[in-house]
Structure 1
Amino acid sequence: MNREVALPEGGLGELREADAGARAAPIPPMRTLGEVEQAGLRGLDPVIAAFLQGGSGSEVTLARNQRAFDQIRFVPRTMSGLAYPSAATSLFGRSLSIPVLTAPFGADGYFHPDGHVAIGRANARFGTCSIVPEAGTHSVEQVAAAAPSSALIGQLHPMGSEVNFLSMVRRYEATGYRALCLTVDCPTPGWREHNLRHAFNIDNRVVGGNYPPGAEIDMERALGQLHAQTEPVWSWGKLAELMTATSLPWVAKGILTPEDALAATTAGAAGVVVSNHGGRQLDGVSSAVEALPSIVSALAGGSVVLLDSGIRRGSDVVKAIALGADAVLVGRLSAYGIAAGGEEGAYRVLDLLRQEIETTLVLLGRGDITDLGRDAVTFGKGWDGS
């Protein structure tokens, strides 16, 4: 028997009214990101908490994502004489207060009824942006309506029906999204033993916001290929052909090798997201941050390079930027934030990241995060990046 997990109190319901003065109920003081995680997990069903925290297989890659960051060492410069540092940057024509975007994780309604709507509002207030998921609790139109200044990048899965895929592309275009993020490392879910142990299947309501019952394209047609595996995995050539139908720039998410990075850009991608899906897909692969330097070198500065998987604190963000990433994505941190306090919890995550990023820059003796380079870091024993 499959385990059924209750949705958050109040269900999914309608979106809260967009009252500019409204704020969520007060949340407990969370002075560190570790406290945000603890607060978020306390309110979750244990099965949902395991789903959020877990990886695939033996979770070797999940652990390596964080361990690899620990093996990167800073090279500080003292008495810099610099003014207080700037952590601001830009991406796809949008200024960002810090080089952090929210990753497009699905099933967000399990963590808070407002899901990515709450995250989008927090991002808009803070001055950064979201990558809005195809398999989310709310539709891409709802998220954009709630947070038009932050819902700028739309995610989708290149698989299954070409008609379904292009229909989703057109929806993002019509809603005003400025770029697309194509998740290329998920032709099927990873071997996630935490789900198997609990006989847990995701409730369709938390992933079907874009494909409600009765819609022209239902969820089974659009996302069923993730599980059914009835059609071949797409090729770069097929994706390149389909993406000629849009003028939106796009990035390929789930890249771990220079060869795939070059294949993506040859297919027309404006950049890549170096990612192992947070350790939730193929176990036993490199950490994302270890794969980052060789991919940056292969692309030679001509493309956007984002880093996803393993970011747990502001100093990790600084390390990723020093190794050549333009910005990073955070998924679990954002999920902990909304689980702990909805929009205010998501905002707290961003503010704590900003504080630690700026502190790290001061102690490094660097005045601007966009000026960071490889001379800001060195590597300890066990580092496996080039």
Structure 2
Amino acid sequence: MSRPVPAGEPWDVDRDVHCLEDLEHAAREVLPADVWDFVAGGSGGEDTLSANRAALRRIALVPRILRDVAHCDPQTSLFGERHAMPVAVAPIAYHKLVHPKGELASARAAKAAGVPFTASTLSSCTIEEITGIGGTVWFQLYWLRDRKKTFELVERAEAAGCTAVMPTVDVPWMGRRLRDVRNRFTLPPGVEAANLAWGSGSEAHRAPVSGSAVASHTGSAFTPSLTWEDIEELRRRTSLPVILKGVLAAEDARRAVDAGADGIVVSNHGGRQLDGAVPAVDVLAEIAAEVGGACRVLLDSGIRSGTDVLRALALGADGVLVGRPALWGLAAAGERGVARVLDLLAAELRDALGLVGCDGVQAARGLRTVTAAG
């Protein structure tokens, strides 16, 4: 992509940004190289990272004609609340890595756009600060070795006004992300896991002899022993909807329903956990069929356009999570940059709905797709 503004001039997100890829380039220009690698990178050889996008591009939609699409409405309901479109901001750690306002700027943009914001356990602002913005906030939960602290986090999230809890189930430890290993990546001063009171003197801030300080630190904090019994206990302990993030097998999707999950996120963690894992969209239809409406199904990993959102809906998803693009927008222009991401997705989704012959989200779920050979 050629730069739409002269070299050396800053990007104007309203004038110069016309798709999410533009924001990716804008963010890369302003972020330190090691922070960019932390945001952009995947695990291993990054095969799954690239496969996510390739798999989405292989899905072709079959448009229907002569339908009244004068009023295309992308609104939808998720977990008892009405939203402007079937999109939520995915849980991402340490927003302050890319902008000093961090999660507060991102949450404000999500509120203004009418979509949920998912606060990470590893947010660089506290749960209470984020919910104080207003809007719909879901809480992503990493299961800690200290079970008492794990459930204290859930209680805090519920007391603060979060409307769902989203345990991540595909991270017994962080995948081996070679960019971070080569950079010996550490958190800079002032960026910390605010919900956990680890502080700026934690292992994550100390340069390692080798490897990633962040991976070492989370490895000592997260339990590799999370089981279905823990999910069932979480279900008993909270009245919030429980959404399992990181499901790729239909058998696990069915087990999630049996364990009381209200939703699942079909996700390979954006290519950041098992390198070689199946692209999330390739198993979406199978998983949606397996649960048969017994729980909500969201797709995560590789969403980059409103057309991608439509592809997910056609394959049986109720909505999607958008991760890296939110950080690109935040890095490029703070709250306004995140707002631009969500504005673009809304405009692209409305455009795609109309052109494919659907007047809304429900109609899109009956679309036929054709998948090209890989």
Tell me the TM-score normalised to structure 1 length. 0.86
1:114 to 2:101 alignment: yes
Task: Tell me, yes or no, if the aligned pair for 1:252 and 1:269 is still in contact at 8 Å.
Answer: yes
Matched, 1:155 2:140: yes
**Residues of 2 paired with 1:136 and 1:313: CA distance?**
25
The aligned residue for residue 186 of structure 2 is 201
Q: Could you say which residue in structure 2 is the equivalent of 1:79?
A: 66
**Distance in 2 between residues matched to 1:132 and 1:169, nearest whole Å:** 12
Deviation at 1:236, TM superposition (A): 0.5
Q: Which residue does the alignment assign to 1:292?
A: 284
CA distance in 1, matches of 2:357, 2:175: 42
Amino acid at match of 2:72: P
- Alignment partners' CA distance in 1, 2:192 and 2:309: 29
CA distance in 2, matches of 1:164, 1:142: 19
Q: For the residues of structure 2 that align with 1:210 and 1:195, how far apart are their CA atoms?
A: 23
- Candidates 190, 195, 202, aligned match of 1:210: 195
Q: Deviations over 1:102-148 (max 9, x none)?
A: 00100211111112111110111111110111101100100111x21
Match of 1:361, SS state, is helix
Aligned equivalents of 1:28 and 1:273: distance in 2? Answer: 31
Pairing 1:180–2:165 present: yes
2:122 aligns with one of 128, 131, 135: 135
Change (3 A) 1:91 1:35: same
Which segment drifts farther, 228-237 or 278-287? 228-237
Between the aligned partners of 2:306 and 2:223, the Cα distance in structure 1 is: 41
Which of 320, 325, 329 aligns to 2:317? It is: 325
Q: d(CA) in 1 for partners of 2:150 and 2:337? A: 33
Query: Residues 306-328 of structure 1, C-alpha deviation per residue, up to 9 Å, x if partnerless?
Result: 10001011100100011111110
**Which residue of 24, 49, 62 corresponds with 1:62?**
49
* Deviation at residue 245 of structure 1 after TM alignment: 1.4
Contact 1:366 1:372 in 2 (8 A): yes
Q: Which structure 2 residues correspond to residues 252-331 of structure 1 after superposition, within 5 A?
A: 252-331=244-323
C-alpha spacing 1:202/1:187, structure 2 compared with 1 (3 Å): farther
CA distance in 1, matches of 2:217, 2:140: 16
For 2:189 and 2:280, the matched residues in 1 are separated by 30
Question: 2:8 is matched with which residue?
Answer: none
In structure 2, distance between residues paired with 1:139 and 1:191: 27
**Counterpart residue identity of residue 187, structure 1:** P
| 1:18 match | none
Question: Any unmatched runs of 5+ in structure 2?
Answer: 1-10, 206-214
What is the percent sequence identity of the aligned residues?
37
Aligned to 1:4: none
- For residues 256 and 249 of structure 1, what CA distance do their matches in structure 2 show? 20
What's the counterpart of residue 208 of structure 2?
none
Deviation at 1:374, TM superposition (A): 4.8
CA contact (8 A) 1:134 1:210 kept: yes
Tell me which residue corresponds to 1:377: 369
Cα distance in 2 for residues equivalent to 1:37 and 1:260: 34
For 1:356-375, what aligned pairs fall within 5 Å after superposition? Answer: 356-375=348-367
**Aligned-pair distance for 1:213?**
5.5
CA 277–213 in structure 1, closer or farther in 2 if over 3 Å, else same: closer
Query: How far off is 1:181 after superposition?
Result: 0.5
The letter for the 2-side match of 1:298 is E
Separation (CA, whole Å) in 1 of partners of 2:234 and 2:88? 26
1:170 to 140, 155, 163: 155
1:52 aligns with 2:51: no
Shift of 1:225: 7.4
Provide the residue aligned with 1:125 in structure 2: 112
For residues 158 and 179 of structure 1, the distance between their equivalents in structure 2, rounded to whole angstroms, comes to: 16
Q: Distance in 2 between matches of 1:190 and 1:60?
A: 13
Whether the aligned pair in 1 keeps the contact of 2:20 and 2:341 (CA below 8 Å) is yes
Bigger drift between 76-85 and 31-40 goes to 76-85
TM-score using structure 2 length:
0.89
Amino acid at match of 2:295: S
